[in-house]
Structure 1
Amino acid sequence: MKRKHLLTALLACGSFMVHAQDKAKPEDTEVWEPVPKVVTPGKITFDNAPSDAIILFDGKNLNEWVSVADRTKPAGWDVKDNVMTVNKSAGNIETKRAFSNYQLHIEWRIPANITGSGQARGNSGLFLASIGKGDGGYELQILDSYNNKTYVNGMAGSIYKQFIPLANPARKPGEWQTYDIIWTAPVFNGDGSLQSPARVTVFFNGILVQNNTSLLGPTQYIGKPSYAQAHGASPIKLQAHGDKSEPISFRNIWIREL
């Protein structure tokens, strides 16, 4: 092929790729099958954190948290009766401290009077490593998944838009749910290339739903994830999602660095 024709072909290909990216939609990365089996979880109680744990929320204050939009400002969520509840106007919050590898325990509750359906039903997210402002990072989905149909890589226990949970042990709205997580942070080479991906194990209400899963990169709402940005230790983030459903609540959050 002559050089002029080759250049024309390359330009046309580049134009097609840009045009295709412009047309990408959130639905492109939604997966609806197979639907994880429903499992009824047993009773789980964690009255006390381990002796070496860092207490991220003990029901008294948000001293371990800050605003994602402005880390110089305190977290603006509501604390009452040993529970913190999302304040959507205050936006996302994240930990003051940054973490690499860890064990995390967190309890969350969908309001008993929740309305809506699909993704607009108690939507929030636990970002296992927060990257930048907004919703950047690696998201473990929080959602009412009790008799609530949605795409399965967006249900509770999923690594959002990446990996569906192995089972669906969700409790009814109004009941407390637990995540117990082992997080292994990604490692990058000196030139910013990926040395080893992030991995996560998740127990949802005591049921294994992610088994040492290797992540494809930080969460992407539109398009496929990739490790485009090298980073080190990162805060943990909780999402104040913009849907119209009632805000969810959290309690008893602790972490052990590994």
Structure 2
Amino acid sequence: MSQPSKLVLLAILFSATTFYGQMQEEPTDPKATEFYEPVPPKVTPGINGAAPSDAIVLFDGSNFDQWISATDSTAVQWHLNGDGSMTVKDKTGNIQTKKNFGSVQLHIEWRSPAEVQRDGQNRANSGVFLQGLYEVQVLDNNDNDTYVNGQVGSIYKQSVPLAMASVPSGEWNVYDIIFHAPEFSKGGNIVKPATITVLHNGVLIQDHFEIEGPSEYIGWPTYVPHGKAPLILQDHRDNSRVSYRNIWVRELD
């Protein structure tokens, strides 16, 4: 390297070092670390589990207007109860939202029957599927052991919950779920896996878990490129009799 070239390189390094040093200097004026944009939108929180002001109410107990059969897009055949809930009607199939979603905050309440029937995976089995693919397990695990990556609150066959926080059978459970949808390249490759955080009755049971792919009963999860998709509630076809109520969602994208 010639002498002029060395001098130019040294000048560039000196300038970069000086600039970096200036950027790292701690401010002495408190206003230097204050900013006023962007201003967050105002959201009025709900009371006692009610939906906040910017939420989409998916089920309030009065009708199935936001839902269709996931099998053939016909009307929902599940039971609409007089107490503001709905109950899985065996062998009528899963139901799904009419609207497609990406990243969301989801609030959903569910209840297993007070009258205990069957055991293992056949006791009050249902599931909440984000984007129709990624399942948060619903199951009555009270005095009912099963494989732990398939128990209540698991990301089915992927992530064991950090705790089993169910209330007694027949009482209402609450899931609060933060889901960030996966991102794919134009070529269909996974760029950013989906992540999920779940609180079960106020207890953290999934802590920003990085989902490995769609929930599979057999085999390994493998991502397939997709966009926004419906929320699905599962009819496990085992007389699960699981009920749901007070379902709302906030879109995060």
Please point out which of 106, 119, 122 is paired with 1:120.
Answer: 122
Q: 2 CA distance for matches of 1:92 and 1:231?
A: 20
The unaligned stretches of length 5 or more in structure 1 are 1-44, 131-136
Q: 2 CA distance for matches of 1:237 and 1:181?
A: 14
Does 1:252 find its partner at 2:251?
no
Pairwise CA distance, 1:46: 2.8
Q: 1 CA distance for matches of 2:91 and 2:216?
A: 23
Please point out which of 99, 103, 110 is paired with 2:105.
Answer: 103
Runs ≥4 residues deviating over 6 A: none
Given that 2:166 and 2:173 are in contact with CA atoms closer than 8 Å, whether structure 1 keeps it comes out as: yes
Q: 2 CA distance for matches of 1:193 and 1:88?
A: 38
**CA radius of gyration, larger in:** 2
Alpha carbons of 1:173 and 1:149: their partners in 2 closer, same or farther (altered >3 Å)?
same
Does 1:171 find its partner at 2:167?
yes
Q: 2 CA distance for matches of 1:171 and 1:218?
A: 28
Report the equivalent of 1:181: 177
Report the equivalent of 1:60: 62
Q: 2 CA distance for matches of 1:108 and 1:255?
A: 15
Q: 1 CA distance for matches of 2:213 and 2:184?
A: 12
Query: 1:203 is paired with a residue of what secondary structure?
Result: strand
Q: 2 CA distance for matches of 1:199 and 1:47?
A: 24
Report the equivalent of 2:71: 69
Q: What's the TM-score once normalised by structure 2's chain length? A: 0.79
Does 1:162 find its partner at 2:163?
no
Given that 2:90 and 2:238 are in contact with CA atoms closer than 8 Å, whether structure 1 keeps it comes out as: no
Q: 2 CA distance for matches of 1:90 and 1:242?
A: 8
Pairwise CA distance, 1:119: 0.5
How much identity, in percent, do the aligned residues show? 50
Report the equivalent of 1:232: 227
Pairwise CA distance, 1:47: 4.2
Report the equivalent of 1:211: 207
Does 1:86 find its partner at 2:88?
yes
Query: 2:91 is paired with a residue of what secondary structure?
Result: helix
Query: 2:212 is paired with a residue of what secondary structure?
Result: coil
Does 1:197 find its partner at 2:198?
no
Q: 1 CA distance for matches of 2:233 and 2:49?
A: 22
Letter of the structure 1 residue corresponding to residue 185 of structure 2: N
The unaligned stretches of length 5 or more in structure 2 are 1-46
Give the RMSD, CA atoms, in angstroms.
1.0
Report the equivalent of 1:139: 135
Q: What's the TM-score once normalised by structure 1's chain length? A: 0.78
Given that 2:91 and 2:237 are in contact with CA atoms closer than 8 Å, whether structure 1 keeps it comes out as: no
Report the equivalent of 2:237: 242
Pairwise CA distance, 1:89: 2.8
Q: How many residues align?
A: 205
Alpha carbons of 1:194 and 1:47: their partners in 2 closer, same or farther (altered >3 Å)?
closer
Report the equivalent of 1:12: none
Q: 1 CA distance for matches of 2:237 and 2:149?
A: 19
Q: 2 CA distance for matches of 1:154 and 1:47?
A: 27
